[in-house]
Amino acid sequence: MSVIVTEKARKHIDRIKEQANKSYFRLHVKSAGCSGYRYDPQLLDQKLETDHEVLLDNEWSLLVSDDALSLVKGTTIDYVSKGLGSQLVFLNPNAEDECGCGESFNVPGDES
């Protein structure tokens, strides 16, 4: 399972985990939005039984829900400035279509 998290994204995620006093950052997807799926990043106190821990650089890890594994394989998570704000963005090579606002995506062969 390969997911890339940029240094900017790691720093942002570490900061929000600390502020929320949470131990884990979890990447999940929901069936939603106009294109089929929506990213649902979460902060958790503990791993869920169906989560997969992805270890990056032997010192930083994130959780990926079982439902999201095939949908986010190869995704790069970045933290970018847009307009007056900043946000996490998901650069997903599996996404065939994205909605105009960038909130949802679809994958090839999916009938969502």
In a domain? residue 97: yes
CATH code for position 44: 2.60.300.12
- Total domains in the fold of the chain: 1
Q: What number of residues does the chain have?
A: 112
Q: What is the pLDDT of residue 59?
A: 83
Q: Per the confidence metrics, is the pTM higher than 0.85?
A: no
In a domain? residue 111: no
Q: Using CB atoms within 10 A of its CB, is residue 11 exposed (0-12), middle (13-18) or buried (19+)?
A: exposed
Segments of the chain scoring below 50 in pLDDT: 112
Q: What is the DSSP letter of 96?
A: S
Q: Is 68 helix (H, G, I), strand (E, B) or coil?
A: coil
